Amino acid sequence: MANGYFDGSMPRGVLEYYLSHAATAQWIYLSDTLEDDIRVILKTGIKFLGRASGIWKAEMPDNKHFALSKAAADRIHEADPEIILQACIFEAVYREDLESTKIPAFVFEAFGLPFEDRCFDYDRCVLTHGSCIPDISDVETQMWFYYRAKNYIDCGYEAFHMGQIHLYTARDRDLRCIAKVLSMMREYAKTHARRHKIIIDAHSHSLVLNGVSLLDYNAMPFTRYPVLDREGEKLVLVREGKSGGGISQEGVYEKALPFLYEYDNWGGRDRWAHEHLTYEQRAWAQWWGYDQITWFACQDEEARNEFLDYSFRWTAVNNPDGFFAFPLRRPCESGEEVGNYPFYKLNNKSDVCPDGYSQEDITEKLLKEGYEKYRAFANPSMLDYGGKDIDDPETGVRLPEKIVLYGSFQPYVGAVENDSNSEITRMYYIGDGKFSLSFVMPYAGEYDFGISTWGTLSACVCESGGYPYSGSGGKSKLIIENDNTVVRITFTYMTNEINIEMMS
């Protein structure tokens, strides 16, 4: 029986088979080099195609989108029926998409509601007025998610990336709403999916309810640290967080679920950073003033090969539960500009793929070598960071094991500025769902801080917002009036309440 065989269930060994042969193939359903892409997939042995379909903003009418998604899936499965294709349901919704899409009768039926002849209601779906972040606590958003998932399953997709899940669950603090939607997706898949099973990830280190992980595996982009004593725009990867555990979707307790790293995209080249920042300043602006995949694409061919090799080895050595999704294809601009941006393509440059970046040979080499060669030198599983396996008693939501206080104050307590992964400013779990950190600020002044869950920038909290946010902006003020002020900051995870105490 093939390593990738599954039907109705997927033991961890089979899941890891796919993750160990994973690539991001963003919007491959629109690829103008699909036949060459398939050649590369077969040559390298890729078995999992992440982000193969999905929408961000008003790309095309949904009937056309799903027809193209199915055609690409059929062609890829004709070449290799073992491959899993992943579709995306992101943390963004737009009026153009929702209000041009009629709600099918099957959606109302699935939610036990009477049929209405109408389109989706954008204003009901968004978290706040003027926002594009959906609110999963509203049934309208749940219907939108289920509608998309059902169609992708019918098109032959067996995996889902659910985006920055901690953003759109901001009002779903007990996770009941997202749990309901994911359960509905899984139930539909039991009968209608190609192999009667779907696997689900999101940008999260853990999403556990009543001891059970809502995700099959966790996923996050890499985090970097710039290197200034080498020529060029060099950087290294940072070991951060851990993959949370829990009872898996297969009913097995896992101390740590599998974890998938990737090179993310969000905005391409930051023109302002390149025009206005010094070399040293730009080193700290995202990835040298780029998003991750655009930074990678802007390196020369030898440097790209070296960094792929480094990323693969780094993953194997630094996280024994981790895997690396090779970038088969990924956009090098913002999702706001769909159809108008270049793609990074792993393909060797050729007459049939003139815009290839020529990393297929190093990818083939690494995937055929496999992880085990380097796992022999691997560090232990990520360290446990306080609050181990503690659930909120009211909701059953699993608390994070790592909460970090970060911001401009950090250098004054011996940490790197704005290091959301710092061990030096990690908060301690003190019980009752609270995390706390005390420190002495030697100098008066105005500083800023934010709180990062799991030590990453995917779900941060500050005093002003109340809701989690993604990225390095939006921090709270920390005003120190006297030198040598003792500060204690306490954070309550379930309510996002922040309490600041000072003693001069």
Q: What is the mean pLDDT of the chain?
A: 92
Rounded CA-CA distance 57/283 in Å is 30
> Tokens 């078995």 sit at which residue?
47
- Give the pLDDT of residue 334: 58
Asked if residue 220 lies in contact with residue 259, where contact means CB atoms within 8 angstroms, the answer is yes
The CA-atom distances, in angstroms, between 333 and each of 123, 267, 330, 337, 341 are 27, 5, 9, 7, 6
Q: How many independent structural domains does the chain possess?
A: 2
Residues 465 and 363 in one domain: no
Map residue 261 onto helix, strand or coil: strand
Q: Do residues 145 and 184 make contact, with C-beta atoms less than 8 angstroms apart?
A: no
Q: Is 460:470 a contact under the CB 8 Å cutoff? A: yes
The average pLDDT across 46-70 equals: 96
201 closest CA partner among 55, 90, 45: 90
Residue 287: CATH number of its domain:
3.20.20
Interval 471-481 mean pLDDT: 85
Residue 1: pLDDT band by 50, 70, 90 thresholds?
Answer: very low
253 and 343 part of one domain? yes
Whether 311 shows a pLDDT value over 80: the answer reads yes
Q: Tell me, yes or no, whether 388 lies in a domain.
A: no
| Residue 364 and residue 292 in one domain | yes
Are 46 and 183 within one domain? Answer: yes
Task: Decide if 292 is inside a domain.
Answer: yes
Same domain, 204 and 110: yes
266 with 347, same domain: the answer is: yes
Give the pLDDT confidence score for residue 381 in this predicted structure. 66
Q: pLDDT tens digit string along 228-283?
A: 888 999 998 887 767 889 999 999 999 999 999 999 998 889 999 999 999 999 99
Same domain flag for 308 and 437 = no
Q: Is residue 236 domain-shared with residue 312, that is, in the same domain?
A: yes
Q: Give yes or no for a contact between 346 and 356, defined as CB atoms under 8 angstroms apart.
A: yes
User: What is the mean pLDDT of the segment spanning 85-96?
Assistant: 97
The pLDDT of 285-313, averaged and rounded, is 94
HEC profile of 33-63 = CHHHHHHHHHHHCCCEEEEEECCCCCCCCHH
Mean pLDDT (whole number) for 453-474: 78
In a domain, 392, yes or no: no
CATH number of the domain that residue 421 is part of: 2.60.40.10
Confirm whether 201 is domain-assigned: yes
Residue 493 has pLDDT above 60, yes or no: yes
Query: Is 2 inside any structural domain?
Result: no
Interacting residues of 233 by C-beta distance below 8 A, sequence separation 6+:
226, 283, 288, 295, 298, 299
CA angle centred on 462, ends 461 and 466, rounded to 5° = 75
Query: What span, in angstroms and rounded, lies between the C-alpha atoms of 215 and 179?
Result: 10
In a domain, 251, yes or no: yes
164 plus 307 within the same structural domain = yes
Instruction: Report, as an integer, the average pLDDT of 178-198.
Output: 99
Based on the domain organization, do 355 and 456 belong to the same domain?
no
Residue 415 sits in the same domain as residue 361: no
Q: For residues 83 and 203, state if they share a domain.
A: yes
Domain encompassing residue 335: 12-375
**Of residues 1, 44, 4, the one with CA closest to residue 25:** 44
User: What's the average model confidence in pLDDT over 99-120?
Assistant: 98
